[in-house]
Structure 1
Amino acid sequence: WVAAWATYPHFTPKQPMNDKLLILEDTDNDGKADACKTFAGDIHNPTGFEFYNGGVIVASGPEILFLKDTDGDDKYDVRERIIHGIDTADTHHASNSFVFDPGGALYFQEGTFHRSQIESPWGPPVRLADAGVFRYRPVTQEIDVYVSYGFANPHGHVFDRWGQDFVTDGTGAETFWAPTFSGRVYFPQKHAKPPKPYEQRTRPCSATEILSSRHFPDEMQGNLLVLNVIGFQGILQYKFADKDSGFAATEIEPLVQSDDPNFRPADIEVAPDGSVYFTDWHNPIIGHMQHNLRDPNRDRNHGRVYRITYDGRELAKPAKIDGQPVEALLDLLKDSQDRVRYLARLELGERKGDEVVAAAKKWVAGLDQKDKEYEHHRLEGLWVHQWHNAVDADLLKQVLRSPEPRARAAATRVLTDWRDRVPDALSLMKVQATDEHPRVRLEAVRGCSFFQTPEAMEVALESVNLPQDPALEHTLNETIQTLERLQK
């Protein structure tokens, strides 16, 4: 599926708003598209989209739409406005990088110059000024600001297999570990700049992806792929390593490089067969301040979708997902490839919540505790509950005390999300704040910022009795500032 933005960067008065969402189909499985279908031909500024509930959520500024085909003709016949109030003052900074976390929240982000104000059934309008990341839960219609930070223009947001996420500011190609600046702040407060996993050598970035594919060698698994469009034109590759409570990363050999001056890689995804697809916007002009918006040299006719395979290695066999029984979908959550588990969660999200949750409880109970991946499998079961808005305090407590620190850190994030519905949530958070692993402590310190009691400050400060590091110290300072404002 590809978004086509013919009216870029801004439609001309009296011109039809006819941007498109296209389906490219490879009917003979030779790695080349044989058919192009127009799923939607009347959207506007489609700067991001993601599948959901048998349809697709797509940006169509100033709205976020849900489109669905109910009669199988590959054209939408259901159109629902689910979010309104997204700013479109500068379309280069418009809503982008749509991605679900493992627990069912959808994230998208916008850049500076924008002033978005979104009505919510859960309280006052949600406001964001001068850049940030939104978090939207389709199941409950909750929306909030996930990151309020002075990005120039964020492009790129990815989650790894443990739910650890990274947000990239596209303009400077600066990648940040999200927990360090995604604690609660209150409008118009912004987070300070956190430590970075690595220093980039070039800019700007248009999109990111984490490589998780059996088709590629083991040593490449988990690498961060960063698309770059000016200083270096291609796909950069970084290898992550644990460092203190967070991460460090080292640049290694690029995945793609081109000397074509019009080559502009724009988005990237790992496919179900393990290959990597990326789009090439292919445009000689990409600036919006250096060139007139109506500059006739802007290329509206060329663009490509490329497919990358690893020479000499077999492609992965795509898992059967669509229409599969709930039990089979739950077993796919054991797959080592992130994309398989991601699509299985989306498919489970289409099913009746009660049925899925009941099956998930049985599935978790039947897991082999001797399996080396048991802790991750059990965490996946917890995320299924979170996706379907079904609190299971007992399962949460079990994962909070997992022997795997990454599972404990992920469960601490779930505890933060369920804090109003889990008994003694702050007491549980206090245990996490004194965990032996600094990443768990950092998640607990971040989580304290969402509580509105003086005791939350005391819990966050418990972490200082154990070793500190720059990421943990930064997160603590941000939480303290938020809680102090509540007490004044």
Structure 2
Amino acid sequence: MRYDSNAPRRACGVGLIGLVVAARAAFGDAPVVPEPLAPEAAVKTLKLIDPDLTITLVASEPDVSSPVAAAWDEDGRLFVAEMLDYPRGPASGKVRLLEDRDGDGRYERASTFAEGLNFPNGVLPWNGGVLVTAAPDILFLKDDDGDGRADTRRVVLTGFAEGNTQLRVNGLTWGADGWVYGANGRSDGVVRKPGDPDSAAVPLRFHDFRFRPDTGEIQTVSGFSQFGLPRDDWGRRFPSWNTIPIRHVVLEERTLARNPYLAESATVATILDPADGGRVFPLSPPPTTFNRESTTYFNASCGPTIYRGDLLGDVYRGNAFFGESLTNLVQRRILEHQGPTFLARRAEPDREFLASTDPYFRPVNTATGPDGALYVVDFYREMVEHPDFVPADLRESIEFRRWQNRGRIWRIARKGSTPAQPPRLGQADTGELVALLEHPNGWRRDTAQRLLTNRRDLAALPLLETLARTGATPLGRIHAAWTLDGLGTLDDAIVVGLLADASADVREAAAKLAAGRPGLVEAVATRADDPESRVRFQAAVVLGDSDAPRAVEALARIAARDAEDEWTRLAVLSGLRDTASPFLATLLTAHPEWLATATPGQARLLDATASILGARAIPDELKALAARLAPPAEGEGSAGRIALLLGLSDGLARANRSPRELANQAGFEKLGVLLDRAAETVGSAHANPTDRARALTLLARFRPDDAAALVPALLSADQPPAVQAAAAEAVVEVGSAPLAARIFESWETIPTAPRRAVLAAMIRSTPLAGRLVEAIEDDVVALSELTPAERESLRSSPDSEVAGRAAALLESRTPRDRAEVVARFQPVLSLTGDPGRGRELFVKNCRTCHQHRGDGYKVGPDLSGVASRPESALLKDVLDPNADVSPDLVAFTVLTKRGQTLSGLLVEETAASLKLRAAEGVEESILRSEIEAVRPSGRSLMPEGFEDALGEQGLADLIAFLKQP
């Protein structure tokens, strides 16, 4: 279906998605709009699942209006960013300053700290003032004369894109390393310090960022967050998204970029528990929406926090909380360690931590307060849909800013707890601040660390060193080390001690501190045998910076133990720039059995290591690898050897060398024996399907004629899916026109899945794409068998003749004027659709890129929630998919130096590679060294012409299926 800005970018800026309650033009008479509730009445609608917790109001209108973010300074003063100007201005945002002077938990004094701001959506205290995100700038605001109003207004950074007001820079957070981290907001930008030349600007494309507010230094970091970027006690970051409220940054891109031969780009893990699918359980009435995503799943999640306080109880410590502003609730997730990353498991199986029956409760942000309580920022508005996402004929009937003068901030704590007196840390002495580094409330630890670093008081050094060595709590010890590091005085000996700490979290954090300290290689290498996998993972990241034999040996031990873990495997590989050959020798000397019986993870590690060696193409290294490919003994397996040879051939191809040249090189004379064994494996119905698939790929590269003879039979219905998929890819590996002809001769006998795989493979091959176009012209292959993205790939072929023939085919059946097409198909709206037939059409045409109630692939928007969308709007979505395309949903075409044409969404980009996601969620990483050109199409992944595949009745059937409640 349609890839546009309407669904995936709902919960941004203010972190919200639309509730259209005045859509008279689409739904007839509008429903009666309930009146807003006064704060005293609204609190009665808020239901906490834990009876031992209580929620109270700490601030409301007129003291706060349209609040979207809140943060406390060292003296407990609360700064609130008010996005009064949402959604379209004029610029009239404010920062309000609230004070609780009597310590009763209510902020009875309020003043305007700054006004006239451009859609402010984030605030963070620093240096006696606050940093505020207000694209295109991050501002520093400070009250110099004590009157409660900012006298200083200075631009710290500028160049953040002013996209949709829901999609702007936000989420400032102090990192454990003393940098300020920020969420991209999905509008990107090219950012610099004012006065710096354009050449010093940093492009943010698809990245979050960090900066130093005192110097303006800025760097991109892994992750791409929409609204909110929290961290936990140990400095781990958790990017957010409206439909994926929490992910985890496992690797930094700079770690992967250190190895230019590594064709991998994964840095962020999706950690939501797949067992629940992201369900939400609201108490409020179902909203009417115009987006395509289900309101029974995450739709408008925003403002996440990792709870780091002490007033809710130990069971909540380290839990993730995030608002679901569309469905009026706050969900809780428990973060469970799973190797180097986490599983975010639902805390309550079928209810929510906090839910409201009030449809105007808009929890857009959450935070841990100075008192250790959990705070919820409530935007409290009727309309939160951005006008851009509402059909034009409805916009005039909707008052988008109604109730913009309301807003609440709520406090959640354990019953019986009394509000703490506001902290007065601004006047605390050095000893008091160092002692606070052991406080159970993360807010106090962070604030003490920030103040100590800013003061640069040398009297703190002996106290910090003592705490780092002998502190009573793990968090106290590591906070002391972080503070010393921020002061530039952290001694290697302290890090060595922390690497041996009793706490795995401390050891993991200490390994991060060891990065860039070459004298600590030996100490870090001892962590290769750490009992905790996340510590071994972090050790691998650090050891990859060293070429020392001790580091290589330790990496081999980590790889041997953790080969099945994808993140540890990637961390190890990222460090094998110049040491891949000694690493492989060390690994296989200790584990020669891998050559015969490699597990899936071991095979992938061998494959990737050999690929690095092939890409380096250094003769001595290739000769050493050849020794590992010696023919196996009679009866011995060959899975590891085949993996090595596959990886080697990949790497050689990236180095623009034909793998077939190996047969003529010294050391590879007996390669034929291994290829004979591969042929036997392919033909063995009793062999493991994965081994058969690998063996077939190997044959296709080294004995293409032999592979071509086998491929047609391996596409048949009696073959395992892994073998069918490998056979489809072998068509391109072989690159033979006669093989393509043989496949098309038996096209109707090939099952759907391998047939789809063959089409996808041929389209990527410039030589074979012409054969495919010919088959379509001859009506052997139906145009409707191609996905819309595949049609676009043919149209974009680097072979001008193929592109022209494909364009002629498509244009002969696809009118250019989409408005005319939409008008011509209006009679569809008067037809009676059959939902059953519509489901069949969805499965055939849509599920490769869309999910509907759990069925399908989530490449484009989830269509589970479009039942409330008008039929006329759905019809236009299908027929005119390029009317409004979000920048991050534009299809890209990548041309490689090997003549491949790849198309899909650009989902990840590093200095060394990029990753495309195409139909069926298939992702492919491509090294930049392989890329000839990258071309944004300016169009969605779903191009025009769907009416050809569906027809009028088919469109009516599909709409009827999607409209089912």
TM-score under structure 2 length normalisation? 0.44
Whether 1:143 aligns to 2:218 is yes
Q: After the TM superposition, which residues 465-476 of structure 1 pair with which residues of structure 2 at under 5 Å, given as runs? A: 465-467=560-562, 468-473=564-569
Give the equivalent residue in structure 2 for 1:208: 304
Larger mean CA deviation between 285-294 and 302-311 belongs to 285-294
1:59–1:466 Cα change, 3 Å: same
Give the equivalent residue in structure 2 for 1:229: 325
Give the equivalent residue in structure 2 for 1:4: 82
From 485, 497, 504, the equivalent of 1:386 is 485
Q: Deviations over 1:148-190 (max 9, x none)?
A: x5x4x52232222222332222x2134112224555466xx96
What CA RMSD, in Å, does the superposition of the two structures yield over aligned residues? 3.5
Whether 1:272 aligns to 2:375 is no
Q: Deviations over 1:212-245 (max 9, x none)?
A: 3332222222221111112x42111112222223
Give the counterpart letter for 2:122 in structure 1.
Answer: G
TM-aligned CA deviation for residue 264 of structure 1: 1.2
1:84–1:464 Cα change, 3 Å: same
From 84, 92, 98, the equivalent of 1:24 is 98
Any conservation in 2 of the 1:330–1:363 contact (CA below 8 Å)?
A: yes
Any conservation in 1 of the 2:180–2:211 contact (CA below 8 Å)?
A: yes
From 280, 284, 289, the equivalent of 2:382 is 284
TM-aligned CA deviation for residue 98 of structure 1: 0.9
Give the equivalent residue in structure 2 for 1:365: 466
Distance 1:118 1:461 in 2: 41
Give the equivalent residue in structure 2 for 1:340: 444
Give the equivalent residue in structure 2 for 1:257: 355
Q: After the TM superposition, which residues 16-165 of structure 1 pair with which residues of structure 2 at under 5 Å, given as runs? A: 17-118=91-192, 124-129=200-205, 131-147=206-222, 149=223, 151=224, 154-165=226-237
Distance 2:928 2:524 in 1: 20
Any conservation in 2 of the 1:23–1:36 contact (CA below 8 Å)?
A: yes
Whether 1:412 aligns to 2:511 is yes
Q: Deviations over 1:334-386 (max 9, x none)?
A: 111111112222322331x1x24x413334326784x652x432211111022
Give the equivalent residue in structure 2 for 1:329: 433
Matched residue of 1:409: which SS?
helix
Give the counterpart letter for 1:144 in structure 2.
Answer: Q
Distance 1:314 1:80 in 2: 39
Give the counterpart letter for 1:335 in structure 2.
Answer: H
**Structure 2 unaligned blocks of 5 or more:** 1-78, 258-263, 280-296, 577-611, 613-909, 914-926, 930-965
Any conservation in 1 of the 2:481–2:490 contact (CA below 8 Å)?
A: no
TM-aligned CA deviation for residue 286 of structure 1: 2.5
1:67–1:473 Cα change, 3 Å: same
Any conservation in 2 of the 1:211–1:223 contact (CA below 8 Å)?
A: yes
Distance 1:212 1:317 in 2: 19
TM-aligned CA deviation for residue 64 of structure 1: 0.9
Any conservation in 2 of the 1:195–1:471 contact (CA below 8 Å)?
A: no
TM-aligned CA deviation for residue 392 of structure 1: 2.7
Give the counterpart letter for 1:365 in structure 2.
Answer: T
TM-aligned CA deviation for residue 21 of structure 1: 0.5
Give the equivalent residue in structure 1 for 2:400: 297
1:319–1:117 Cα change, 3 Å: closer
Q: After the TM superposition, which residues 165-180 of structure 1 pair with which residues of structure 2 at under 5 Å, given as runs? A: 165-169=237-241, 171-180=242-251
Any conservation in 2 of the 1:167–1:175 contact (CA below 8 Å)?
A: yes
Give the counterpart letter for 2:163 in structure 1.
Answer: A
Distance 2:251 2:123 in 1: 26
Any conservation in 2 of the 1:118–1:127 contact (CA below 8 Å)?
A: no
Percent identical among aligned pairs is 23
Distance 1:466 1:68 in 2: 53
Give the counterpart letter for 1:2 in structure 2.
Answer: V
Q: Hey, which of these two has a bigger chunk of helix by percent?
A: 2
Matched residue of 1:46: which SS?
coil
Any conservation in 2 of the 1:433–1:463 contact (CA below 8 Å)?
A: yes
Distance 2:555 2:526 in 1: 11
Larger mean CA deviation between 240-249 and 440-449 belongs to 440-449
Give the counterpart letter for 1:439 in structure 2.
Answer: R
Any conservation in 1 of the 2:373–2:413 contact (CA below 8 Å)?
A: yes
Give the counterpart letter for 1:241 in structure 2.
Answer: E
Q: Deviations over 1:236-282 (max 9, x none)?
A: 11122222232223212433201222221111222222232221112
1:446–1:423 Cα change, 3 Å: closer
Any conservation in 1 of the 2:100–2:422 contact (CA below 8 Å)?
A: no
Any conservation in 2 of the 1:216–1:313 contact (CA below 8 Å)?
A: no
Distance 2:540 2:161 in 1: 32
Any conservation in 1 of the 2:207–2:221 contact (CA below 8 Å)?
A: yes
Distance 1:319 1:368 in 2: 28
TM-aligned CA deviation for residue 435 of structure 1: 4.0
Give the equivalent residue in structure 2 for 1:241: 336
1:190–1:109 Cα change, 3 Å: farther
TM-score under structure 1 length normalisation? 0.84
Total equivalences in the alignment: 467
Q: Hey, which of these two has a bigger chunk of strand by percent?
A: 1
Larger mean CA deviation between 288-297 and 82-91 belongs to 288-297
